[in-house]
Structure formats: C-alpha cells, structure tokens
C-alpha cells in the first residue's frame, strides 16, 4: 500500500508464518504508531491470518510519546461444498482512541463520532454486485474534524479495505469470465 507523506513502515519476517510490521506517521505536534504482529495458519480445511497490535515495543521507545493503535482480528477463508465458492470471514476489533485529551467523552458523543466516521469512510455500504466485497469510496462531503493519529489509523484501515475489495472483486469477476467462457465453449462443442 502506498504510504502517506511523513509515514515510515518496515516489515520483518520472523519465521515462514509470522511477520512483524512497524508503522509510524509523524505530524506537526503528534505521532501515530501501528506496530502489528501477523500470523498465518494454513490448515487442511481453512486458511487463517490473525493479527494483534504491539502496544509496547522496547526497540521503539518513542512510541510512548504518540498514539498507539490497539487492534486485533482475523481473516479466514474456508472452502464450501461447491468447489467454485469459498466463505471468507473478516473480523476487526479496534479500541477507540479517546475523543478528547482533557475529558471523557459521553456515550452519545462516541455514537455521533462513530456515525460520522461510518458515513465519511463508507464502512457500512453493501456490495455493488452480489457476491462481491462491500464498502465504498471516502465521502468527501462529510466534514468530520478528527485527530492526526485517528486519521492515520482510519485511512490506513480504509486503504486496506479498498485493496481487499479490489483483489476480491477482481478475483470474482475473473472467475465469472472464465466460467462463462468455459460454459460457452462446452455449448459450442455439443
């Protein structure tokens, strides 16, 4: 994924199934850190990728001066009885960054902020075509003042979502084209 201006990222392969990713973006007055550990499990009946934030990295002590994303999740792909279909499950858990530095936000303020984020970043849109990945483009008409760190984390997650959407949709469309041409070839031979 392309990095925004000011961002740095490095990946380290720990073993054939484990990757450590360190990401930071430094703004004028704050910094955002998203260091993650990813693990891949290839099993006979499913493929699983799990991840978890690294909240405290002894090699990056400057993390204590910025916002650190606290997230975990998994992505699972499982075959179905139909060899042309698989089931994908994606779960992302995120501990929200506080809305205010000087006071606790109310429940209503968190609900309002979440509604605006969902509207702006289109996380809740159904797929354009059945069988494809949901989501949509960023809605620039929604104005939502957001902290530097929160913007870094949300926009990074949005870019991941758009990459997943593009990859999955291109795979689905290519499969449909291949299946359609195979069916047409078998009809012509009959």
pTM (two decimals): 0.75
Query: pLDDT tens digits, residue range 48-76?
Result: 999 999 988 776 766 767 788 899 999 99
* Confidence (pLDDT) at 48: 97
Residue found by looking up tokens 């359609």 in the block: 180
Q: pLDDT at position 1, please?
A: 66
pLDDT in tens, 165-185: 888 889 888 888 887 776 666
What pLDDT is recorded for position 74? 95
Distance CA 73, CA 52 (A): 7
Partnered with residue 38 across adjacent β-strands are: 19, 51
Instruction: Give me 155's structure tokens.
Output: 């926009």
* Residue 50 in tokens: 């799990």
Positions in the chain whose pLDDT score sits under 70: 1, 59, 61-62, 64, 123-124, 182-190
Phi, psi of 42 (to 5 degrees): -100, 105
Domain ranges, ordered by start, for the chain: 7-185
Long-range contacts of 176-182 (CB under 8 A, 24+ apart): 179/84
């Amino acid at each position: 994924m392309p990095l925004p201006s000011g961002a740095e990222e490095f990946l380290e392969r720990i073993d054939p199934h484990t990757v450590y990713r360190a990401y930071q973006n430094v703004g004028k007055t704050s910094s955002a850190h998203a260091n993650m550990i990813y693990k891949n499990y290839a099993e006979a009946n499913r493929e699983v990728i799990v991840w978890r934030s690294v909240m405290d990295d002894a090699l990056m002590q400057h993390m204590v001066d910025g916002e650190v994303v606290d997230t975990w999740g998994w992505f699972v792909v499982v075959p179905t009885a139909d060899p042309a279909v698989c089931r994908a499950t994606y779960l992302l858990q995120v501990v929200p960054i506080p809305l205010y530095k000087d006071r606790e936000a109310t429940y209503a303020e968190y609900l309002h902020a979440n509604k605006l984020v969902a509207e702006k970043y289109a996380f809740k849109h159904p797929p354009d075509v059945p069988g494809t990945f949901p989501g949509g483009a960023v809605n620039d008409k929604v104005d939502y003042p957001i902290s530097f760190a929160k913007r870094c984390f949300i926009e990074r997650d949005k870019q991941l979502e758009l990459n997943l959407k593009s990859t999955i949709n291109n795979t689905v469309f290519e499969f449909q084209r291949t299946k359609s041409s195979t069916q047409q070839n078998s009809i012509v031979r009959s």
